[in-house]
Structure 1
Amino acid sequence: MTGTRGHRSPGAAATAALLCAVTAAGLYGCSDTGPSQPRPTPTPAPATTEGISPLTGRPARSGPVLAVKIDNVPPARPHTGLDAADLVYVEQVESGQTRLMAVYSSRLPDRVGPVRSARESDLGLLSQFGRPVLAYSGAQSALTPLIKAAPLHPVTEADTPRAFVRDPGRSAPYNLYLRPDRALATAPDATHAKDIGFRFGPAPADGTPVNSRTVRFPAARYTFTWAPAERAWHVTMDGRSDGPLKPATVVVQHVTVQPSRFHDFTGAVSPYTVTTGSGTAQVLRDGRVHEARWSRPSAEAGTTFTTPSGAPLNFAPGQVWVLLTGSR
């Protein structure tokens, strides 16, 4: 995936042309847990100059960005390593189900999973991170050339078997887990965490008190319940808790979800989640919900969140969840 400096080779030119074609096509949007052993204690990665993670707003030893596609249907739970993520995206996939894309930089758990396949929406969403690592179980054959042309380092079991393990206590396809340290070792030039538009600090003066908020997708639902003593939101999925998932900020981002040109093995069309442009959102923090606007002018740009008056809307320092939903 990496090239040399100076003149482009014919292969590099072809790859660039393919990537331009993908971008011109619009990258329109879409969005498949853990081994029986106890969750390991996350270990830190190398420090940034500033010493504050741009993804969580907390003091951190931020390292290269690793994104992992994680299944979220009931047989895939409980998840492993999700609590160590800096940022978690929720994307819609076929049949109204959802998958998660967990983004790591500050901390690396020993294992993450269960790992499942990538979607076209992931490519547009990850462009704002620079050139991150994307770990996934595979992809539709027609999508593979686009993944290879995208500005990221793909890591799959087929190409990097040492970065994955299978849990013998779980059935396929819910038994594939990633070793994050081994995945990152394959991409020493992966982009480190950088500003993707998030701002952290005191909450806006307004906002409506809320004890819980449920976000519904066509065939999945997420409920976030405020826990004042922990200054965090407890997460339940389809009515069930999945361990110590306690984001400090939850963003319900209203986006366009439309059919893509890809489909799964059953013939179901994969949705594509459009994450560029602008729209409305709600930001949950400190037991309140704040109305917001989001803006992302291009695939390479970060996503900013503002109050209705246009002022930056600060997140609470800590893990952030972003639910990309086409419904309000």
Structure 2
Amino acid sequence: MKRFVVLWVTIGLLASGCNSDEQPTKNVSDPQAVEDGADSEGRTMPLTGLTADGDISHPVVMVMVNNHPKARPQTGLDRADIVFEVLAEGEITRFAAFYHSETEGTVGPVRSVRPYYLDLAEGLNAVVAHAGGSPAAKERYSQSGFPSLDGIAEDGKYFTREDFRQAPHNLYTSVEQLLQGASEQGFADRGPLPQLTFSAAEDVGGGATANDIDIVYGPLYAVRYTYDTAAGHYTRWTQGEMHVDLETEQPLTMHNVLAIKASHRVLDEQGRREVGLTGSGEGWLFQKGTVREIQWKYVDGFPRPYADGQELPLVPGKTWVNVVPEDADVRYGDEEE
């Protein structure tokens, strides 16, 4: 018998289309506190908490990745350390994919940016790769010194139009090109790396069983995560199909799924939104087939999960964050054979 976690997002059907609990923890900023998961120098990757391998001084890169049905399956989401999924306009979601652990590989299709995605990028001190943006976003990233690589403007040399898809769903880049662009444009030295908190314990505890999660943004944006106990990770599904990478044909997997409620306000006829990602709210943290109801707070550049006044650590590995409106409803359960 199957009982599914269901998270329904109540939104109006607006115009689509795109116009422009307490476990031992370790903080990546404190190498002395890290034992397991650190290299011989006590270093871990800042966005995953996994063992650092080689130089980690390069900047974090955030890529705006298209999630229109015509853009699926995407390329390179499997290599991202952290992925945010947020409504971009109407009922269309878009991914903000953060790369640091892996420094190679194609990513795309690339799409336009919104101000709240820039909030996320600034929080993690990232260079932003995008294809234009809304008027409000452009006002910000056009400022002198803003770490922006715009694939449809002067930074187009770091991007490529592919012929197997039609525009605007065919703009691609690579992590190598973006790191080269960051260096050539003077964005390589971004200062301190982000600091997230990860669990040093093998298990997390205190949560109810929740092996299946369904998040419905709209008719074309139904998302499911299923937990694989043997593998120790979640697998993502979109519109009833396993969400795979275009190149590898392997499923997208992650170790943490964080669903958070945030304020949403429609701004114009195109359905562009204002989304409050730098405040606080309710949410759910899914780890190792369990769920904790949490309060999230934007602290030190990231919407961190809290319960009973204490920050809950992330499981070392990849993290996906689903941002939903405040009127979303969540129910969870487990799968039983």
Q: TM-score, normalised by structure 2?
A: 0.75
Q: Is residue 88 of structure 1 aligned with residue 90 of structure 2? A: no
Q: Is 1:86–1:106's contact at 8 Å kept on the other side of the alignment? A: yes
| Bigger fraction of residues in helix | 1
Q: Deviations over 1:201-237 (max 9, x none)?
A: 3354311111200112245221000011211101011
**Residues 51-130 of structure 1: matches in 2 within 5 Å?**
51-61=43-53, 62=56, 63-130=58-125
- The structure 1 residue matched to 2:173, chosen from 172, 178, 185, is 178
**In structure 2, C-alpha distance between the alignment counterparts of 1:114 and 1:192, rounded to whole Å:** 29
Report the CA distance shift for 1:53/1:193 in structure 2 as closer, same or farther (over 3 A): farther
- Counterpart in the other structure of 1:272: 274
- Counterpart in the other structure of 2:259: 252
**In structure 1, C-alpha distance between the alignment counterparts of 2:231 and 2:189, rounded to whole Å:** 34
- Counterpart in the other structure of 2:217: 217
- The structure 1 residue matched to 2:154, chosen from 145, 151, 159, is 159
Q: Is 1:251–1:282's contact at 8 Å kept on the other side of the alignment? A: yes
Q: Is 2:114–2:136's contact at 8 Å kept on the other side of the alignment? A: no
Q: Is residue 135 of structure 1 aligned with residue 129 of structure 2? A: yes
**In structure 1, C-alpha distance between the alignment counterparts of 2:303 and 2:205, rounded to whole Å:** 22
Q: Is 2:74–2:109's contact at 8 Å kept on the other side of the alignment? A: yes
- The structure 2 residue matched to 1:144, chosen from 116, 138, 143, is 138
Q: Is residue 304 of structure 1 aligned with residue 304 of structure 2? A: yes
Of stretches 279-288 and 146-155 in structure 1, the one that deviates more from structure 2 is 146-155
Q: Is 1:114–1:175's contact at 8 Å kept on the other side of the alignment? A: yes
For structure 1, which runs of at least 5 residues remain unmatched after alignment? 1-31, 33-46
> Displacement of 1:190 after TM fit?
4.3
Percentage of identical aligned residues: 26
**Residues 12-27 of structure 1: matches in 2 within 5 Å?**
none
**In structure 1, C-alpha distance between the alignment counterparts of 2:262 and 2:134, rounded to whole Å:** 24
Q: Is 2:198–2:316's contact at 8 Å kept on the other side of the alignment? A: no
Q: Is 1:128–1:196's contact at 8 Å kept on the other side of the alignment? A: no
AA at the equivalent of 2:273? P
AA at the equivalent of 2:324? T
**In structure 1, C-alpha distance between the alignment counterparts of 2:135 and 2:111, rounded to whole Å:** 15
- Counterpart in the other structure of 1:232: 233
How many correspondences in the alignment?
A: 274
**In structure 2, C-alpha distance between the alignment counterparts of 1:200 and 1:151, rounded to whole Å:** 36
- Counterpart in the other structure of 2:207: 207
**In structure 2, C-alpha distance between the alignment counterparts of 1:229 and 1:67, rounded to whole Å:** 31
**In structure 2, C-alpha distance between the alignment counterparts of 1:124 and 1:316, rounded to whole Å:** 24
Q: Is 2:118–2:137's contact at 8 Å kept on the other side of the alignment? A: no
Of stretches 165-174 and 88-97 in structure 1, the one that deviates more from structure 2 is 165-174
Q: Is 1:163–1:180's contact at 8 Å kept on the other side of the alignment? A: no
**In structure 1, C-alpha distance between the alignment counterparts of 2:166 and 2:40, rounded to whole Å:** 40
> Displacement of 1:289 after TM fit?
0.9
Q: Is 2:260–2:324's contact at 8 Å kept on the other side of the alignment? A: yes
Q: Is 1:117–1:136's contact at 8 Å kept on the other side of the alignment? A: yes
**In structure 2, C-alpha distance between the alignment counterparts of 1:72 and 1:174, rounded to whole Å:** 9
**In structure 2, C-alpha distance between the alignment counterparts of 1:76 and 1:273, rounded to whole Å:** 23
For structure 2, which runs of at least 5 residues remain unmatched after alignment? 1-17, 19-38, 245-250, 330-337
The residue matched to 1:295 in structure 2 has which SS?
strand
AA at the equivalent of 2:140? L
**In structure 1, C-alpha distance between the alignment counterparts of 2:104 and 2:69, rounded to whole Å:** 22
Report the CA distance shift for 1:160/1:79 in structure 2 as closer, same or farther (over 3 A): same
- Counterpart in the other structure of 2:314: 315
- Counterpart in the other structure of 1:17: none
AA at the equivalent of 1:316? V
